[in-house]
């Protein structure tokens, strides 16, 4: 959602002040099918900041529809979705960032407008690896400066006297036309953790700085339009995957994190506390809170 929001701003589809009404579902013009928001009673009127903080699906359905899948795919391509990050681990997956062309070539099928909507919330055909999420989040936190992820920090050959540090590989900055758009999205992500209605507000206390983050959920299987997801009735292997991405401090990032908890359910309840604990350890912040499983 942060990357879709940035696309909307950069492509002049929305502004920070643009508002969408969320009644709990979204329907395409002339179509009665309802694409549900996670909050069945809806979020009411939301702008970019409140939609991000409360993770309103309807706002991002509407935004994705206005952008269109071709422009959306092209923008997400800038952040490396659908490509290898180049991390020094063999066998890295490219993931999948779907497009009209991809579906025609790979499935010999037309692209449907409803598929654009669910792509706008990162679901549907989308496949992203944890390293892609962390890499894209770091790029966002650095306002477009791209670094190739590295696992190995230094090497030592038999005849070397000491460890030889490997240089950091930096690519060109992303071609964002309006630099204020970075700040708009980052401020919205800060609201996720520190806002009164932020989905990860419970991890934002007792910190000497602010965290920019975003909760997420990856569905393991689809449910019928009028059915209700009830994890108590489902086998563990069918529970949603829990996601959380973050960088900190929000105004001068040192660390970017992507947490994926398989079948963990809620990104807010499961993945976000793990990210907070990692941030505490990295910055030496002492807390009495245990790591939740």
Q: What distance, in Å, lies between the first and last C-alpha atoms of the chain?
A: 26
Residue 114 pLDDT > 90, yes or no? yes
Write out the two tokens for 110.
């037309």
| Average pLDDT of the segment spanning 151-171 | 86
Is the pLDDT assigned to residue 182 strictly greater than 50?
yes
The model carries a pTM of: 0.90
Least confident of 115-119, 172-176, 211-215, 227-231: 227-231
Q: pLDDT class for 293, splitting at 50, 70, 90?
A: very low
Please tell me the number of Cα atoms within 13 Å of 46 on its side-chain side. 25
Residue 61: what pLDDT? 98
Rounded Cα distance, 80 and 133, in Å: 9
Torsions phi, psi for 245 (to 5 deg):
-120, 150
Cα(51)–Cα(152) distance, integer angstroms: 38
Task: Give the pLDDT mean for 120-136.
Answer: 95
Residues 103/126, Cβ–Cβ less than 8 Å: no
Return the closest-CA partner of residue 38 out of 114, 113, 97, 123: 123
Residue 223: pLDDT above 90? no
Between the CA of residue 130 and those of 69, 92, 102, 140, 168, what are the distances in Å?
23, 11, 22, 15, 20
Flag the least confident range among 43-57, 79-93, 176-190, 253-267.
253-267
pLDDT in tens, 30-39: 999 999 999 9
Confidence class of residue 42 from pLDDT cuts 50, 70 and 90?
very high
Q: What is the mean pLDDT of the chain?
A: 91
Q: Residue 226's pLDDT is what?
A: 54
């Amino acid at each position: 959602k942060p990357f879709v929001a940035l696309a909307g701003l950069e492509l002049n589809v929305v502004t920070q002040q643009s508002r969408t009404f969320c009644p709990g579902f979204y329907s395409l013009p002339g179509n009665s099918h309802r694409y549900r928001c996670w909050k069945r009673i809806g979020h009411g009127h939301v702008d970019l900041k409140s939609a991000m903080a409360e993770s309103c699906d309807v706002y991002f359905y509407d935004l994705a529809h206005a952008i269109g899948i071709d422009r959306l795919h092209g923008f997400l391509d800038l952040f490396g979705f659908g490509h290898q990050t180049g991390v020094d681990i063999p066998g890295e997956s490219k993931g999948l960032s779907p497009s009209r062309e991809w579906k025609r070539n790979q499935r010999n099928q037309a692209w449907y407008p409803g598929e654009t909507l669910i792509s706008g919330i990162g679901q549907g055909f989308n496949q992203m690896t944890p390293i892609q999420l962390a890499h894209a989040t770091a790029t966002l936190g650095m306002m477009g400066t791209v670094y190739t992820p590295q696992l190995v920090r230094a090497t030592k050959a038999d005849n070397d006297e000491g460890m030889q540090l490997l240089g950091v590989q930096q690519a060109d900055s992303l071609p964002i036309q309006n630099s204020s758009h970075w700040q708009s999205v980052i401020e919205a992500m800060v609201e996720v953790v520190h806002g009164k209605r932020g989905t990860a507000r419970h991890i934002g206390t007792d910190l000497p700085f602010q965290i920019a983050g975003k909760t997420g959920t990856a569905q393991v299987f689809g449910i019928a339009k009028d059915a209700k997801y009830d994890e108590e009735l489902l086998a563990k292997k069918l529970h949603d995957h829990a996601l959380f991405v973050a960088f900190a401090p929000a105004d001068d990032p040192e660390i970017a994190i992507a947490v994926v908890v398989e079948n963990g359910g809620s990104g807010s309840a499961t993945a976000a506390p793990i990210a907070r604990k990692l941030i505490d350890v990295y910055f030496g912040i002492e807390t009495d809170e245990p790591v939740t499983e």
